[in-house]
């Protein structure tokens, strides 16, 4: 989990608390602020999720490329050792 995912989810939680508090005390401004905080937090969390997915995909691609290079080295070595 990266910092954007964590910060986004914390912001969503804070927004939910503000929104609920605003509803409870009938403060439309606080309620609206909570909704905005929730939406902002959601956007940041999604951004963090995407960053994590890209990082994972890049690592998978790198691992696959290394595996293929190793297989090619082994094939070349086998071909060299043929009579």
Give CA–CA dist 72/53, Å, rounded: 29
* Residue 38, token pair as written in the block: 């929730």
Record the pTM.
Answer: 0.75
* Residue 54, token pair as written in the block: 């890209």
For residue range 2-46, list pLDDT tens digits in order: 999 999 999 999 999 999 999 999 999 999 999 999 999 999 999
Give CA–CA dist 4/26, Å, rounded: 32
Residue 40 Cα distances to 4, 13, 20, 81, angstroms: 11, 11, 17, 62
């Amino acid at each position: 989990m990266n910092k954007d995912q964590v910060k986004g989810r914390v912001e969503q939680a804070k927004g939910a608390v503000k929104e609920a508090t605003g509803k409870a005390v009938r403060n439309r401004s606080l309620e609206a602020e909570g909704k905005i905080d929730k939406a902002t937090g959601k956007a940041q969390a999604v951004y963090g999720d995407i960053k994590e997915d890209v990082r994972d995909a890049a690592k998978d691609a790198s691992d696959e490329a290394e595996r293929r290079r190793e297989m090619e080295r082994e094939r070349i070595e086998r071909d060299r050792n043929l009579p």
